[in-house]
Chains A and B, each alone.
Chain A
Amino acid sequence: MTVRELSRLDNFSEIILPDPDREIIGGYVGDLLSWVMGRAESGNAWITIMSNVNVLAVATLADVSCVIIAEGVVLSEDVISVAKEKEINLISTSLPMFEASVKLSEALR
């Protein structure tokens, strides 16, 4: 499943998708950045409620396919513009992290 396909599911929406055809390989959920850095795998869709700019550095370094910002958390324009620059796919969902994970997992089956 590509990042664009995920963004079109119910309850998910695109924030920005500079690389929409990127394939999603599994997922990872977490808010502690070091934990995510150490454990998320390349291609994972990363579900988090963190919204600061450091999320983008971690997303780049961990090479995740997209960041899914859960619980309807809103990103600032600054963060979005840095993500654009770094070509990081950002998806928003109103779902809590658990439900978002379940949906993602079902969609990846």
Chain B
Amino acid sequence: MSEELVFRFTVDGEDFTSAGQASVQVKKNLRQLGLSAEVIKRVSVAMYEGEINMVIHAGGGIAEVRVCESYVEIILDDKGPGIKDIDLAMQEGYSTATDTIRSLGFGAGMGLPNMRKYTDYMTIESEVGVGTKIVMRVNC
């Protein structure tokens, strides 16, 4: 039986310039494992969006990627402010990002929708004032 591989990253909430590093590393790792280009792209887009969200909204967090036999799972866990209205946050174009964030090219309100679009399974658990946990899977 093959054992699953787990990559774990701490996403630094202060550092906008390094945002995306975990996703880029995951992309490299998955490429080395020989996963298909399609799966790699979907995982890395979903993960990047999640990573950026954690930097913009939550002051960082933990990202974990588990490579299983039939899917890749991404778990994003933060202790940020939580999402008040998940349905609203899932709408394309809805964003609570500040103007400064927008001037950097973020805050298009496409983060969560992209994460859903690029994954086969996604759940969001969030409590205001406590944090948010997102689990996503991309089938191999």
Q: Chain B residue with minimal CB distance to A36? A: B105
Q: Chain A residue with minimal CB distance to B16? A: A54
Mark A residues whose CB is within 8 Å of B.
31-35, 37-38, 42, 50, 52-55, 57-58, 60-63, 86
B23 touching A33, Cβ below 8 Å? no
User: Within 8 Å CB of B108, what residues of A?
Assistant: 32-35
A37 to B47, alpha carbons, bound, how many Å?
11
User: Within 8 Å CB of A52, what residues of B?
Assistant: 17, 104-105
User: Within 8 Å CB of B19, what residues of A?
Assistant: 54, 57
Task: Looking at the assembled complex, report how far the CB atom of A23 sits from the nearest CB atom of chain B, in whole angstroms.
Answer: 15
Looking at B5-13, B83-91, B110-118, B124-132, the stretch in contact with chain A turns out to be B110-118
Task: Looking at the assembled complex, report how far the CB atom of B18 sits from the nearest CB atom of chain A, in whole angstroms.
Answer: 8
Looking at B37-45, B58-66, B71-79, the stretch in contact with chain A turns out to be B37-45
| Number of A-B contacts defined by CB within 8 Å | 71
User: Within 8 Å CB of B106, what residues of A?
Assistant: 32-34, 54
A33 to B97, alpha carbons, bound, how many Å?
13
Q: Can you list 27 pairs linking A and B with CB atoms under 8 Å apart?
A: A31-B105, A32-B110, A33-B106, A33-B108, A34-B106, A34-B108, A34-B111, A34-B114, A37-B48, A37-B49, A37-B114, A38-B45, A38-B113, A38-B118, A42-B37, A42-B41, A50-B104, A53-B17, A54-B16, A54-B17, A54-B105, A54-B106, A57-B23, A57-B24, A58-B48, A61-B24, A61-B45
B20 touching A35, Cβ below 8 Å? no
B48 touching A57, Cβ below 8 Å? yes
B20 touching A61, Cβ below 8 Å? yes
For the complex of A and B, 3 pairs with smallest distance between CB atoms: A57-B20, A34-B110, A32-B108
